[in-house]
Amino acid sequence: MNNFSYRLIFTISLLLLSSLSFGQVDKFINKYDEIRLISYNSHRKYALRDNPTIEIKNNKVIIKGVKIVDNVILDNKYSKKIFNVLLSQKKECSVADCYNPRHILLFFKTKKLVGYFEFCSSCGGSRKSKNISINSSFCSEHGNDLIKIFKEMKLKNNGEETEDYKYY
């Protein structure tokens, strides 16, 4: 085969792989009627120490000791951008041990909260409810990609440490 043939096969392979990942993202998103992104003003250090699990009661997530900063229902555009990141595999995937989460995704079906995915964009740590099938190899590289999206969304807490939103 000549050089052109190799390039053509490579290009077709890339297109097929990318269409598969987009299909995966659409399939994941379409399982839910609503996906909500919430950010908080501080990490839940004391809640993690006392009770590391997140409570869901009366169709609400209970996060003690934090103030909600952003509470956004994701539209299709940002759902796709966020889940393209969350469902992707990274070549390099590093994590730290701080786990100071400031963001949580809430998943709804027929107006009922059915699950969550909480994450720290700084260290790459995450926690999720058992029924949410997001890749468990979330890492700081995913967090860096999400910070870019959060800035585009103009979130008050976009995942970067600032004077108002300290991670440590």
> What's the structural domain count of the chain?
2
Assess whether 55 and 98 both reside in one domain. Answer: yes
pLDDT band at 44 (very low <50, low <70, confident <90, very high): low
Note if the pTM is more than 0.85. Answer: no
| Co-location of 99 and 86 in the same domain | yes
Q: Are 83 and 131 in contact (CB under 8 A)?
A: no
Q: Identify whether 71 is part of a domain.
A: yes
Question: Each residue of 100-156: pLDDT tens digit?
Answer: 778 999 999 999 999 999 888 888 888 888 888 886 678 888 888 999 999 999 999
At 49, is the secondary structure helix, strand, or coil? helix
Q: Are residues 89 and 7 in the same domain?
A: no
Residue 161 falls within a domain, yes or no?
Answer: no
**Phi-psi region for residue 151, left (φ > 0), alpha (ψ -120 to 50) or beta?**
alpha
Q: Give residue 59's domain range.
A: 32-152
Q: Is the domain of 42 the same as that of 19?
A: no
